[in-house]
Amino acid sequence: MTDRVIAIADSGRAKPLPKMGVLRAAGPLADTLGRQIRDLRISVTDRCNFRCTYCMPKEVFGPDYAFLDRSKLLSFEEITRLARIFYSLGIEKVRLTGGEPLLRRNLERLIEMISSIGELDLTLTTNGSVLAKKARALRDAGLKRITVSLDSLDDRVFRAMNDADFPVAKVLEGIDVAHAVGLAPIKINMVVKRGVNEDSIVPMARHFRGSGHILRFIEFMDVGATNGWRMDDVVPSAEVIKMIDADRAIEPLDPNYEGEVAGRWRYKDGSGEIGVISSVTQAFCRTCTRARLSTEGMLYTCLFASSGYDLRSMIRSSATDAEIAATVAAIWRTRADRYSEIRTAETARERKVEMSYIGG
């Protein structure tokens, strides 16, 4: 196979796929910094019914925004084939995301298909808007656990942040139904933005304390190129921890596994656990084992990438599974990404692929 540049994708540039000659024999699949490939995040749609100001601001993702054409999306068969190939390379965990993954029709079918691949930790991140309706079908299809995003319990604040006037109550109902059908543990993601929802931190912690759900506070990140990120808008996790500790004492916990993204804390009185995802103030690139597959089959080796590798063209050609696996392996072996460790005000302004496209 010759070195070739595949057509530019709708979002982000395509890098040349490596030559077969560069491929090496099987062995532990580690990148240039010794990080093994372990997780695959799959974006199943670039569309969303929310317009969270930190992710898909309305001014950019307005009524005229051109989302990907259906023909460009990977089919469930194509996604499953790629997931199987990644599994053969050592992936242990798959997360379905987007955009809003529950907007992809018949997603349960994809969950069934991926579940049949093997011993995979399969999960999904959702804004919870249609979770009450879908939780049971997702569980029946083989989903074990779920992450739901919720930025505030204050209806006014939440409606403003999702910018779709969507009420808190419906997301809470989705969480309750997910819990009732046995999706556990449920993780709740709260993006914290200075001056926007800081006042929601302690009420959120109080609400989920003792529920068995794990609330995780995420630092506002400079993903994409449209969310107007400024360092001043980031509330460092250390500040969040201090606020919660002042309300009810907490202490740090060891990570569940090497490379866990969230720093873990527990209430000293035994009423549960919280997490902080400090991608801005305490970068965790050193242990980053995640690959990302976009809705149209581009492979990205970092959330902050500006270009990826077009795997869709390979699977729509006559390439065999072994050839695709060898190509992915060659890509991973040359990976050197560590964006969060080298972030500056300059890099924050660089053009990057949008999170709704690459998958959060």
User: What's the one-letter identity of residue 343?
Assistant: R
From the list 44, 168, 196, 221, which residue makes contact with ligand SAM (rule: CB under 6 A)? 221
CA angle 280, 129, 206 (to 5 degrees): 60
- Indicate the residue among 234 and 311 with the shorter CB distance to ligand SAM: 234
Both tokens assigned to 33: 């910094």
User: What's the one-letter identity of residue 152?
Assistant: S
Distances in Å between the alpha carbon of 115 and those of 58, 111, 123, 186, 231? 35, 6, 10, 19, 40
Interface with ligand SF4, residue 100, by CB under 6 A: yes
Residue 49: is it exposed, middle or buried by C-beta count within 10 angstroms (0-12/13-18/19+)? middle
Query: How many angstroms from the chain centroid is the CA of residue 251?
Result: 27
CA distance 11 to 261: 26
- Site mask for ligand SF4 (CB under 6 A), range 40-79, x = bound: --------x-xxx--xx-----------------------
DSSP string, 213-245: -EEEEEE----SSSS---GGGB--HHHHHHHHH
- Indicate the residue among 108 and 151 with the shorter CB distance to ligand SF4: 151
User: What's the one-letter identity of residue 117?
Assistant: I
Nearest distance from residue 284's CB to ligand SF4, in Å? 5
CA distance 278 to 171: 24
Nearest distance from residue 160's CB to ligand SF4, in Å? 13
List the single partner that 338 binds among ligand SF4, ligand SAM, none, CB under 5 to 8 Å by kind: ligand SF4
Residues in 106-165 at the binding interface with ligand SAM, rule: CB under 6 A: 125-127, 149
CA angle 39, 52, 124 (to 5 degrees): 30
Residues in 301-330 at the binding interface with ligand SF4, rule: CB under 6 A: 302-304
- Indicate the residue among 235 and 330 with the shorter CB distance to ligand SAM: 235
- Indicate the residue among 85 and 191 with the shorter CB distance to ligand SAM: 191
Residues that bind ligand SF4 (CB under 6 A): 48, 50-52, 55-56, 98-100, 127, 149, 279, 284-285, 288, 290, 302-304, 337-340, 356
Residues that bind ligand SAM (CB under 6 A): 48, 54-55, 97-98, 100, 125-127, 149, 189, 191, 218, 220-221, 223, 227, 355-356, 360
